[in-house]
Amino acid sequence: MKLFVLKTALAGLMAATTLGVAPAFAEKTKFEFWYGLSGDLGDRVQDACKKFNDSQSDFEILCTSQNGYDTTLQNTIAAYRAKKQPAITQIYDAGTLDLMLSKAFIPAKQLMADNGYKIDWNNYFGGIANYYATAAGELQSFPFNSSTAMFYYNVSAFEKAGIDFKPDTWEHVEEAARKLKAAGFECPLGFNFDTWPLLEQFSAIHNQPLATKANGYEGLDTEVVFNKTKFVDHVKFFKKMQDEKLFVVKTKQLGMDIVPAFTSQTCQMIQTSVADHGTVGKTLPEGVKWDVAMLPVWKGTERKNSLVGGASLWVMAGRPAAEYKGAAAFLNFLAQPDMVQWWSTVTGYIPVTKTGFDAMKANGFYDKAPYKGRELAIASLTYTPTSENTRGIRLGSFTQIRKEVSTSLEAIFMQNADVQKELDQAAERSNAILRRFEKTYAGQKLN
């Protein structure tokens, strides 16, 4: 009798396993996530993926770094054409229009609705969401590692130089630079040719257009105009400060970029992302006082909101329905307040939702010394409601345009080229890029 019962039990177990109905042996749905971050930030993405995998038993996300934003965009496009695209891909701000016009994605709102998630889309900060939304305001991708540019300064050096004010205007920055130089500091301010803080953020907070058609939001027939705005005078100011050895070029090619220049106390002021806040705090020697401020404006300027940087998560079309269930679950997981705080804590990126930010404030996150100052990034992004000049930049092949401007800035600061002539040439080359992009997508209209 016992033998009969044992055989019956074994037969039942084998049948259940064969039919795939035994929950203990159910196979997880796997899906891919490609991202561009590397180094310490890339490791934190892997941590987020592990947290998701450990939190549930239905899905397994496979996360792979493409070792750069540019390569992630290129690899995603190539993979889509080969029908080997990941379910989720991280695309940086400059690639937004390229993805949007590709029609190779599932809109954020559609994905979550199709998979039973009710999302308060108004919970996203407008200054962040608008960069990744249609002209009608509908979010196409999920803001993820969001940032804005901040001004970092060495308080200890300021005290030694007798500086008792914050560098909130460029007039103050110049005054501080002169006092630092007189006090023996060889590099009062370090800068590179990154157009994000120098051109894009400067233009936004000074209410200057980067291009016509609301910076490209209103049509592909846009043209750049940065060679005709206050940006020209700003570059001339930087050149004057460089000539007086008050501002010093610091790049990887010259041996030291701006963040290492600041953390090594080689330079006492820099402009860089709030995402570098954690690195600066961990790297500066103990006892060195430092702080951050919103980017300086010229006196008499009515400050406007700054632009969001970083990247968003796009869900690619053409994957099985089961993978979309996993993708929606992962994106919902990232949006939970505890994950929002964890991500901001370990990276320096800012919370993208109002509830996430409020939860962090309530927990006293921004009162703690290592994180104090990061809240200014939110203040900067939300300083005013977004406008035509501050909503974002919706230019085709924007990565190439950035390179053209950067090339001209390098010629100005390294080869003593004429400021206006170089910026005019950069604008001419940029507009040629825009015309090619417009031709590629002829007949398509922006939503």
Residues in the chain: 447
Predicted local confidence at residue 6, as pLDDT: 35
Multiple choice CATH, 150-306+396-440, 3.40.190.10, 3.30.470.10, 3.40.50.2300, 3.30.110.40: 3.40.190.10
Query: Residue ranges of the chain with pLDDT lower than 70?
Result: 1-25, 446-447
Predicted local confidence at residue 25, as pLDDT: 58
- Ordered alpha helix ranges (H), 244-320: 258-263, 277-283
pTM comes to 0.88
Distance in angstroms (rounded) separating the CA atoms of residues 267 and 124: 36
> Residue for token digits 């001339």?
236
Alpha carbon 242 to its chain's center: 28
Predicted local confidence at residue 400, as pLDDT: 95
Predicted local confidence at residue 133, as pLDDT: 86
Distance in angstroms (rounded) separating the CA atoms of residues 95 and 312: 10
Residue 318 region, left (φ>0) first, then alpha (ψ -120 to 50), else beta?
left
Alpha carbon 324 to its chain's center: 24
Sheet harboring 149-154: ordered strands across?
A: 269-273, 149-154, 290-294
Predicted local confidence at residue 317, as pLDDT: 97
Predicted local confidence at residue 345, as pLDDT: 86
Predicted local confidence at residue 1, as pLDDT: 40
Domain layout of the chain by residue ranges: 27-147+308-367, 150-306+396-440
CA atoms within 13 A on the CB side of 176: 29
Please name the CATH architecture into which domain 27-147+308-367 falls. 3-Layer(aba) Sandwich (3.40)
109 close to 342: Cβ distance less than 8 angstroms: no
Does the fold of domain 150-306+396-440 match that of domain 27-147+308-367? yes
